[in-house]
């Protein structure tokens, strides 16, 4: 009944107490946004909810599990089954078949229409979609939902904004984080942590049934060696970039072939480059002055390095 992966980024505002309030789904990452998924199974408690809480998971040791990409629902293989979807995710495990998740955003809520969708499998919620986030969503909000699948139901779900504060992952620290609990009854529940800046998206989740922690997005930044991928960060030259530049990656396990994705800091996809002999070149065309993010993938589409550069 639950989705494998939820990547949701939402419009927010702030109260006098710096409490993030999710008002709508107007600020989801752009189509083309890609990043990584890493997983750890642990008996560590997900911690209590509350105001100005710090959730510290820095002692966990996740392993890289795959990549995710926000895609146009109409361009996916199962678009006809989810014709009302406004957003979709493509999740590609490093070993296995890609699966899709479909959402529908409205003024009242963000709903899940389908999860783990692939050929002949997955869960279709189109008879009565499952609420992910109700709007507005402020600390203490409790939303009761009834949903149904094509194979069964109805089922009950309670969505609660149970805390906000600081999230420390094995890779980085996030502030102004929202924690949401999706409770299906008994011991069947999820926690999901949403960042609020610079883009708004789920960066971590916890499944109480399996004890699985999933870390999403930014998980490789400044932490490439956690996965033994390379021994040095790629070099962007010249940096700052004024017109043309190159990205060169080296190290014991650095890939000779692969691709490089360039996005702005909001996650909007700009360019895809071909990595040949560990290097790629690009132009700053259509890139105003500012900070940009590069992501380097090897031939197996595994993210092996990530960083930032400046355009002047």
Domain identity same for 89 and 232: no
DSSP per-residue letters across 30-84? PTT-EEEEEEEE--------EEEEEEE-TT---EEEEEEEEE-GGGSTTGGGGTT
- Sole residue written with tokens 């996916």: 76
Domain identity same for 137 and 280: no
> Of 168, 184, 216, which residue is a domain's last?
216
Two tokens, residue 91: 């999740």
Domain identity same for 196 and 230: no
Two tokens, residue 280: 């790629």
Query: Is residue 1 one of the residues assigned to a domain?
Result: no
Query: Is residue 170 one of the residues assigned to a domain?
Result: yes
Two tokens, residue 213: 């922690």
| Domain at 292, CATH number | 2.60.40.3080
> Of 169, 199, 216, which residue is a domain's last?
216
CB neighbour list of residue 290: distance below 8 Å, 6 or more residues apart: 264, 265, 310, 311
Query: Is residue 6 one of the residues assigned to a domain?
Result: no
Domain identity same for 155 and 260: no
Domain identity same for 210 and 230: no
Contact 294, 309 (CB under 8 A): yes
- Please give the pLDDT value at position 64: 73
Domain identity same for 181 and 56: yes
Domain identity same for 170 and 135: yes
Domain identity same for 114 and 193: yes
Domain identity same for 168 and 262: no
Query: Is residue 261 one of the residues assigned to a domain?
Result: yes
Domain identity same for 109 and 128: yes
- Please give the pLDDT value at position 225: 35
* Predicted model pTM: 0.69
Domain identity same for 173 and 41: yes
- Please give the pLDDT value at position 200: 67
Query: Is residue 247 one of the residues assigned to a domain?
Result: yes
Domain identity same for 112 and 172: yes
- Please give the pLDDT value at position 86: 96
Question: Beta 50-56 vs 155-168: how paired, if at all?
Answer: parallel
Count up the domains in the chain and report the number.
2
- Please give the pLDDT value at position 164: 97
> Of 183, 216, 249, which residue is a domain's last?
216
Two tokens, residue 49: 């909810």
Query: Is residue 46 one of the residues assigned to a domain?
Result: yes
Domain coverage including residue 266: 224-311
Query: Is residue 243 one of the residues assigned to a domain?
Result: yes
pLDDT tens, N- to C-terminus, the chain (312 residues): 444 444 443 444 443 347 899 988 888 877 877 777 889 999 999 999 999 999 999 999 888 778 788 899 999 999 999 999 999 999 988 677 899 999 999 999 999 999 999 988 999 999 999 999 999 999 999 999 999 999 999 999 999 999 999 999 887 788 889 999 999 999 999 999 997 765 668 989 999 999 999 998 644 333 333 333 444 567 888 888 889 999 988 765 678 888 888 887 766 778 888 888 889 999 988 888 888 888 887 776 667 777 788 887
Query: Is residue 3 one of the residues assigned to a domain?
Result: no
């Amino acid at each position: 009944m639950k989705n494998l992966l939820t990547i949701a980024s939402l419009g927010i505002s702030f109260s006098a107490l710096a409490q993030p309030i999710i008002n709508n789904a107007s600020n989801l990452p752009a189509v083309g946004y890609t990043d990584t998924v890493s997983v750890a199974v642990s008996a560590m408690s997900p911690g209590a909810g509350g105001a100005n809480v710090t959730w510290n998971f820095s002692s966990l040791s996740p392993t890289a599990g795959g990549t995710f990409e926000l895609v146009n629902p109409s361009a996916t293989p199962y678009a006809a089954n989810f014709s009302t979807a406004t957003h979709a995710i493509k999740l590609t495990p490093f070993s296995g078949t890609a699966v899709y998740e479909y959402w529908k955003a409205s003024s009242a809520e963000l709903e899940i229409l389908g999860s783990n969708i692939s050929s002949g499998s997955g869960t279709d919620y189109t008879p009565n979609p499952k609420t992910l986030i109700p709007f507005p969503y402020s600390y203490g909000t409790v939303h009761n939902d009834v949903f149904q699948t094509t194979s069964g139901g109805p089922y009950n779900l309670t969505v609660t904004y149970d805390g906000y504060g600081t999230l420390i992952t094995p890779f980085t620290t996030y502030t102004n984080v929202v924690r949401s609990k999706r409770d299906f009854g008994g011991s069947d529940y999820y926690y999901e942590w949403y960042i609020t800046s610079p883009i708004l998206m789920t960066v971590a989740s916890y499944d109480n049934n399996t004890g699985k922690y999933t870390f999403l997005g930014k998980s490789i930044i400044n932490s490439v060696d956690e996965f033994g991928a390379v021994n040095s960060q790629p070099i962007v030259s010249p940096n700052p970039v004024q017109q043309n530049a190159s990205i060169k990656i080296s190290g014991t396990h650095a890939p000779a072939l692969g691709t490089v994705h360039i996005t702005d800091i909001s996650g909007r996809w700009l360019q895809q480059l071909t990595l040949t002999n560990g290097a790629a070149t690009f132009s700053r065309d259509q890139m105003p002055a500012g900070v940009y993010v590069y992501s380097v993938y090897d031939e197996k589409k595994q993210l092996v390095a990530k960083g930032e550069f400046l355009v002047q």
